[in-house]
Amino acid sequence: MKKPTRLSKVLLAIGLGLAVLLLWRGCAGKDDQGPPGGRGGWGERPPTPVRVATAERGPLDLEIKALGTVTPLRTVTVRPRVEGELVRIAFAEGQQVRAGQLLAEVDPAPFQVRLAQAEGTQKQNLAELENTRIQLQRFRDLAGANYVSAQEVSDLQARVRQFEGRRESDQAAVDEARLQLGYTRITAPIDGRIGLRTVDVGNLVRAGDEDGIATITQTRPISVVFALPEGVLPTVHAAVREGQALAVQAWDRDERQPLATGTLSSLDNRIDVQTGTLRLRALFDNADESLFPNQSVNVRLRLGSAAVVSIPDAAVQSGNRGPYVYVVAEDDTASMREVKLGASHEGRVAVLDGLQDGERVVLEGLDRLREGGKVQVVDADGAPTDAVETAEGGGDAASATGARAAAAR
């Protein structure tokens, strides 16, 4: 009897391996009692459990949210208009001031001297003017009797006009000196709250100092500037054209507390091409000064009420091409759809384009969805809605509970 060769041993080992693999595959197929597509099978993926909401048409209080900045209507840096030593500060830092109120004073002594000098020169020239006029009148009388020549009369007339011109120049010099003296008293140009001073008494100040003495900011009334995307501008423009006084609320940064209520006052004249937004301004009385200049606030612009198609804002997702939702079709397949959104209010957002009344959108389970994939609609407890409805339709609460438990398993 021949001994088995090395090749025959290799072939025998391969055959035994194949037999074992086929036997294991057959046993695995018998043990797997799940449906095709289950964890042990080789079929399609199981449906993804999701919660849905229905797009509904009905009245909705339209409200647009945005981020805004409290912006004063007027801000003035108080600067001296003359050069000299600062001898007095007449305000307390942070106080409310009125227009015309004295804030500071520059040493007036040099300017008083200049005014006195200008007034003295003016008096001297006025005296010469008066004397020349008297001489002119005498020469006119003598010229009638041929005691003086016409040339002498003409020369005196020219001197009178010269002194009259000097009189006007002297008056301008006096006015200028008096004006400069008045500038030594620095007063508030507007009503508002004054900030911290930037210079102390005893320092030399100059006209046009960049930092000035202090800054006054108008706080009552005050405005909030915010930006809206150009997609919602037609709705805002329509309300503005109708003459509606659109209410605007300012909320704190965490949107937990309303700070003030005002009205929309104006829109910018062009859209920012880089951001695709338009700036708007709202006015607030701010009697209690709850809004502070440069404060960041959340803005809610109310546009009234309208019948629109709306969905819960939790169903809206953001992508590279804008907002979108997952829509569940009649055959329980999910597909992504881009939407154009409008205003929102209390957790619901208006859909201007992309959805119809009655369509279902996915609320929960979005992270496991795929385009065209099968879904299974479940309730808040995770039970399939069809199983729950069947169980509860029999009027037996215990059966309904059992259906939920079976669905959970």
Number of CB atoms found within 10 A of residue 95's CB: 9
Q: What is the mean pLDDT of the chain?
A: 84
Segment 183-198, tens digit of pLDDT: 999 999 999 999 999 9
pTM above 0.85, yes or no: no
Segment 210-254, tens digit of pLDDT: 899 999 999 999 999 999 988 888 878 888 888 788 999 999 998
Question: Does 315 have pLDDT greater than 60?
Answer: yes
Task: Please report the pLDDT score of residue 24 as a whole number.
Answer: 60
Which of 134, 167, 183 is where one domain is finished? Answer: 183
Residue 314 within any structural domain of the chain: no
> Are 149 and 164 members of one domain?
yes
Task: Please report the pLDDT score of residue 25 as a whole number.
Answer: 62
> Are 120 and 225 members of one domain?
no
CATH assignment of the domain containing 92: 2.40.50.100
Number of CB atoms found within 10 A of residue 383's CB: 20
> Are 258 and 284 members of one domain?
yes
Identify the helix (H) or strand (E) that includes residue 238: helix 233-241
From start to end of 277-354, where are the E strands? 277-284, 296-312, 317-319, 322-328, 334-338, 340-345, 348-353
Question: Domain range holding 136?
Answer: 108-183
Residue 366 within any structural domain of the chain: no
Residue 116 within any structural domain of the chain: yes
Segment 373-400, tens digit of pLDDT: 888 888 765 567 654 443 344 444 434 4
Residue 14 within any structural domain of the chain: no
> Are 300 and 224 members of one domain?
yes
The DSSP bridge pattern shows strands 185-187 and 102-106 to be: antiparallel
Task: Please report the pLDDT score of residue 91 as a whole number.
Answer: 96
**Percentage of the chain with pLDDT > 70?**
84
Task: Please report the pLDDT score of residue 304 as a whole number.
Answer: 76
- Bigger pLDDT: 398 vs 93: 93
Weakest mean pLDDT among 77-86, 97-106, 187-196, 239-248: 239-248
> Are 128 and 231 members of one domain?
no
Q: Which of 5-19, 226-240, 290-304, 331-345 has the highest mean pLDDT?
A: 290-304
Helix axes 109-144, 150-182, angle to 10 degrees: 160
> Are 199 and 267 members of one domain?
no
Segment 109-120, tens digit of pLDDT: 999 999 999 999
Residue 371 within any structural domain of the chain: no
Residue 53 within any structural domain of the chain: no
Which of 304, 330, 358 is where one domain is finished? Answer: 304
CA angle 91, 93, 99 (to 5 degrees): 50
Residue 342 within any structural domain of the chain: no
Count of structural domains, the chain: 4
> Are 100 and 197 members of one domain?
yes
Segment 120-140, tens digit of pLDDT: 999 999 999 999 888 888 888
> Are 115 and 173 members of one domain?
yes
> Are 408 and 290 members of one domain?
no
Weakest mean pLDDT among 156-160, 248-252, 320-324, 399-403: 399-403
The tokens 């389970």 sit on which residue?
365
> Are 164 and 199 members of one domain?
no
> Are 209 and 87 members of one domain?
yes
**Percentage of the chain with pLDDT > 90?**
44
Residue 6 within any structural domain of the chain: no
Segment 345-381, tens digit of pLDDT: 778 888 888 888 999 998 888 877 888 888 888 876 5
> Are 212 and 228 members of one domain?
no
Task: Please report the pLDDT score of residue 7 as a whole number.
Answer: 66
CATH assignment of the domain containing 150: 1.10.287.470
Which of 259, 284, 304 is where one domain is finished? Answer: 304
DSSP 405: H
Task: Please report the pLDDT score of residue 73 as a whole number.
Answer: 95
Given a contact cutoff of 8 angstroms between Cβ atoms, the answer to whether 321 and 338 are in contact is yes
**Residue 158: both structure tokens together:** 């020219």
Question: Does 260 have pLDDT greater than 50?
Answer: yes
